[in-house]
Chain A
């Protein structure tokens, strides 16, 4: 950087950075640190005991596992939906475009109830899946499906603008060089979309980790089997075990934050290659 104080048309870097820190501090950091203070009422042994009970471990596994599966599913289908929306003009495109955002607008409890009705033993999907020996409602599969539903818009909406930016020329150039459609996707499109896919994945994953409303209906909330971490925390709170609830919350927080940080670093690394500029 040869010009650290490059002149900008819009002034106010210090002011806006200061405000950003203040705002994030007020909204995120202070509430979170009060969470830490809560747990300090526990001794280390008590803390460790609380966060490593078999019930808590099972809940972490389910929460992270189902969120990961849901986010990955969204990467695949979200990319497909974004592709269709960007590259083709067809009747009903506007309807599809609005449908994508519906999981955002719908109260999550409504989504949970709907999915439970559909996938229960007598439901529209459930009766056929049950016949095939696949139980969805009240299992971890159901949890993953609910999390997939609420995370879909993230991948579509992050990939869409990037895909719009990729010139069809680039795909055509690859074809003239002898590249098959699959090679073009793998070697040209995917690397260009990777940062956006990663962003979408991160958002969907983070959203799924914190999701509560839609999951409680379809999961059945059986300890050790279909209990997610947010629910476990609520359960603790209902038993007036505030220290226990915050201890589990801290573990969740730490794990989520490290994961998000790791993904963000990966994102920056992959984005840097695409945004190299003359003189950079």
Chain B
């Protein structure tokens, strides 16, 4: 039951910029596909178009090869989970889960069996008689999952399902969703702005920016081979270094890395460097190479198991480096010290960088 989206477009204000502009992508059958992007990228609108809660101006939605663009939401057979849970407050957990089966006139015996099965699946069989107001946020969202899955949807659409939960619960539910998906193998579309979530639980990621697809691929593709400066800056908290093409290499002050093949001599370039792709050493320890530079430690910020080091390079660019705690202790640097920075990996794009 794959989802295929073709040239889908939706504009809310006449003359305004489109929320979704001619987006095409595929969500492979049986996989979790993430729609990842900053707020306003159009990811929720896209999900709503696929669910049938919005009507597209142009384009098609195919669910399992069937054109569903004009199909009313009631008949699409999609399970939707909202960030706000959207539970029916006046109904008990059991009645919430049974709702979709009742309006579909599923016979009572089958309905009750299915509700119990769903409650077991989300591990809430002991809370069936409670009202949503008596549950914690994580429990409420599990009820919402059970309710969506009870109608045996063809696909599962999740709109920031863990967005309203605190970090610990969110991480638990992420694991839980992964395990649930292992069992159901339901084609799932997950809207999120949390790259960690997208990279961790999905097999396929579609990065959206301003209503367009910026890049689609496996989590590794997205992380290791960002296709555009936008993706490189959005994923992984990279620092930016600016420079020019010199002798076929991207030179940024004393530092140089391999330039893109298409770069011409003298063109401006910018490089994205991830916080863990820089190795720090004591200044003047060992031989210098093209990929090393010196930097001054501007600020240190211990964050649990690692330390964030803010470095000022001679070129004036600032980079953030993350050093594991043990490694940091062995290094023994303080604010104001000079250190040697070895850039082990960088993603270089031709052109000026502007935020």
Contacts and interface: CB of A to CB of B under 8 A. Distances in A.
A176 B134 contact: no
Given A187-B103, A274-B133, A277-B133, A176 B79 contact: yes
A171 to B, nearest CB: 9
Interface in B39-89: 51-53, 73-76, 78-80, 82, 84, 86-89
A178 B103 contact: yes
A192 B103 contact: no
Interface in A266-280: 273-280
B126 interface: no
Bin chain A's interface residue count. 20 to 34
Nearest to B91: A191
A268 to B, nearest CB: 15
A173 B87 CA distance: 8
B255 to A, nearest CB: 50
Contacts of A277: 133-134
Given A169-B82, A191-B90, A178 B151 contact: yes
Interface in A140-186: 167, 169-170, 172-180, 183
B86 A167 contact: yes
Given A169-B82, A275-B133, A278-B136, A179 B88 contact: no
Given A175-B53, A187-B103, A180 B74 contact: yes
Contact of B88 (A170, A176, A180): A170
Interface in B111-152: 130-131, 133-136, 144, 147-148, 151
B340 to A, nearest CB: 54
B104 interface: yes
A188 interface: yes
Nearest to A195: B90
A192 B89 contact: yes
Bin chain B's interface residue count. 20 to 34
Contacts of A275: 133
Given A177-B147, A177-B151, A172 B80 contact: yes
A275 B87 CA distance: 14
Contact of B86 (A173, A187, A279): A173
Contacts of B104: 178
A196 to B, nearest CB: 12
A26 B174 CA distance: 61
Given A192-B90, A273-B90, A176 B73 contact: yes
Contacts of A172: 53, 73, 80, 82, 86
Return the 3 tightest CB-CB contacts between A and B, nearest first: A177-B100, A169-B86, A173-B86
16 contacts: A169-B86, A173-B87, A174-B103, A176-B53, A176-B148, A177-B100, A177-B151, A178-B74, A178-B75, A178-B104, A183-B103, A273-B90, A274-B89, A277-B134, A278-B134, A280-B134
Given A177-B103, A187-B102, 14 more contacts: A167-B86, A172-B86, A174-B99, A175-B74, A178-B104, A179-B100, A179-B103, A187-B99, A192-B90, A274-B89, A274-B133, A275-B133, A276-B134, A279-B134
